[in-house]
Amino acid sequence: KAGVTQTPRYLIKTRGQQVTLSCSPISGHRSVSWYQQTPGQGLQFLFEYFSETQRNKGNFPGRFSGRQFSNSRSEMNVSTLELGDSALYLCASSPSGGRFTDTQYFGPGTRLTVL
Amino acid sequence: DQQVKQNSPSLSVQEGRISILNCDYTNSMFDYFLWYKKYPAEGPTFLISISSIKDKNEDGRFTVFLNKSAKHLSLHIVPSQPGDSAVYFCAANYGGSQGNLIFGKGTKLSVKP
């Protein structure tokens, strides 16, 4: 089975721009979560989607948004980029997000640099 | 306010010896705990988990211990191997799904031959 894929792998943007990152989960997985990793804050949860619905949301401003399509692929969007948004954005998928039963599989991440 | 803390940013261990990675949490609602391993340029990989109804879970060389009263968990790796060198993240969760994990900042383990 192919793993979780994220595109693009690297991205450079300037302040004020917006960006869209894409995540393709493992085939058959319906839960997709997004995390931001920075040196100072570590891995922080952004949001989780399941069957095209946002199921959980972390403590991030409204500039961060996401969506999930009927084929379970997910995108996240960051508008009005700030320097502090420079980070590794990780996507994880699991069959249903079920606790005690499912394993979450992470993609390699998209490295976003905001200049 | 960090709900999951890994107070040791790094740990160095000799090959063949035991590695002990520690994690503390503050939120008493957490009832599911996981450890992930991360190599450079790769996403985290799931290692082992434990629910709050247990105090120990073992999988091969990896054992996780949970002390609910102290709000503390630890990951033991025995014996340690050079391939175990990576950043280890502790994560915790409560609620209906596993999709919203709260992570610690990680501990970098170096296993020296």
Question: Where residue A66 falls among pLDDT bands split at 50, 70, 90?
Answer: very high
Q: Cβ separation of B97 and A48 shorter than 8 Å? A: yes
pLDDT tens string, chain B, 113 residues long: the values are: 789 999 999 999 999 999 999 999 999 999 999 999 999 889 999 999 999 999 999 999 999 999 999 999 999 999 999 999 999 999 999 887 777 899 999 999 999 99
For the stretch A8-65, pLDDT in tens is 999 999 999 999 999 999 999 999 999 999 988 889 999 999 999 999 999 999 999 9
A residues 80-109 near B, CB within 8 Å? 90, 92, 94, 96-100, 102-109
Q: Calculate how close chain B gets to A74, using CA atoms only, in Å.
A: 14
A13, amino acid identity = K
Q: What is the dihedral of CA A35, A26, A75, A99, to 10 degrees?
A: -50
Q: Cβ separation of B99 and A106 shorter than 8 Å? A: no
For the stretch B49-80, pLDDT in tens is 999 999 999 999 999 999 999 999 999 999 99
* B73 half-sphere exposure, CB direction, 13 A CA radius: 30
Question: In the prediction, which pLDDT does B22 show?
Answer: 98
Closest-CA residue of A relative to B105 is: A42
B80, amino acid identity = S
